[in-house]
Structure 1
């Protein structure tokens, strides 16, 4: 039996929870060190936060997201009025992948510099003439990245989604394609690259826009 997912949280018995997934080689502690928890406290938001440690080996073998659902999201849905899921870089991709495979698992998504996936995935879609022209094959749909992009072809209109990234991010082209699947008011590009100063600004913008209070 695999050990339970390790988490780091900030709880005040609020009605809303946001679960944050880390990027590659990040830990839950990185969110705390970068001020993500303090930003919520300073704004006196009625929001609990739980950052999750998803080991890369568990991600690659496919056990991380089922564990996330069973250990964290499903119990949270019973406890909280609203549950959001978000992440940085790889954490943003995993957020989208899990949401695509588990309809209704959360009430909203916060995507900070979401990694668009491998070149194998993005090149296949580009080679088909872009996302709207691409038709997924049965073989492609065995891959969670392709299933995520298929979900992005027509995301549900009622799901709140915030997408932000740095305009000089090395993955900005793919991130822009993700962002363009959502209303203009919900997508935000700020100067900078793939780094914490950009992600901190985007997080503060997300909080200040009132998504979690809605």
Structure 2
């Protein structure tokens, strides 16, 4: 099984789509993500890198994403987009939080918002504006992501969608409230491809990427 899947057409734009925790790039091919781009004839290079070598260590995954993928892509492409599904969506957001302004847009499909310990603490505090993490919590990547969301976000296009019955929907709704400029779509369904593929189709229909000449 190929650890990385790519579909290249020599476009000026690239989208790195990060798989979820129990997902491989090949699963994204099988689900039809690459076929949807090809069928639309979009001028978009699509790459699904496998960043799971570090297990659950977000810092290792983010370092690999930046050094092995994003940095070389910035020298090659005019526009570099970042996206992900579930934990892949969390990694995409965490990347933007750590390196503001270095991607040109985000596509988040059911982005994992972190553990309930953090999201429940935010809700108990009365919301993100009132919540304050303790110094010893700052090493937690979930906490750092929510701390970043307290600040004004970079002005890049953001698409975010998820299923209304998703088991992580509470955290996603909290995320959505703090990304008011994003395009938000909620579809009936759970945390699976029956929701993610239609969301992907909606994203591709927004006109961010032109058709091939």
Per the TM superposition, whether the score is higher than 0.5 is yes
- 1:188, distance to aligned residue in structure 2 (A): 0.5
What's 1:44 paired with? 41
> In the superposition, relative to structure 1, how do residues 120 and 77 fare at CA in structure 2: closer, same or farther (>3 Å)?
same
- 1:6, distance to aligned residue in structure 2 (A): 3.7
**Structure 1 position 143 matched with structure 2 position 140:** yes
Alignment gaps of 5+ in structure 1: none
**Structure 1 position 188 matched with structure 2 position 185:** yes
- 1:25, distance to aligned residue in structure 2 (A): 1.1
Q: CA RMSD in A?
A: 1.8
- The answer to whether the 8 A contact 1:21-1:95 is kept is yes
State the distance in 2 between where 1:201 and 1:170 align.
Answer: 18
**Structure 1 position 108 matched with structure 2 position 108:** no
Deviating runs (4+, > 3 A) in structure 1?
A: 56-59
- 1:61, distance to aligned residue in structure 2 (A): 6.8
Superposition map of 1:17-32 within 5 A: 17-32=14-29
| SS, match of residue 189 in structure 1 | strand
What's 2:201 paired with? 204
| SS, match of residue 172 in structure 2 | helix
Corresponding pairs, count: 209
> In the superposition, relative to structure 1, how do residues 162 and 64 fare at CA in structure 2: closer, same or farther (>3 Å)?
same
What's 2:65 paired with? 68
Q: What's the TM-score once normalised by structure 2's chain length?
A: 0.92
What's 1:174 paired with? 171
State the distance in 2 between where 1:25 and 1:51 align.
Answer: 14
Bigger drift between 10-19 and 96-105 goes to: 96-105
Alignment gaps of 5+ in structure 2: none
- The answer to whether the 8 A contact 1:8-1:51 is kept is yes
Q: What's the TM-score once normalised by structure 1's chain length?
A: 0.91
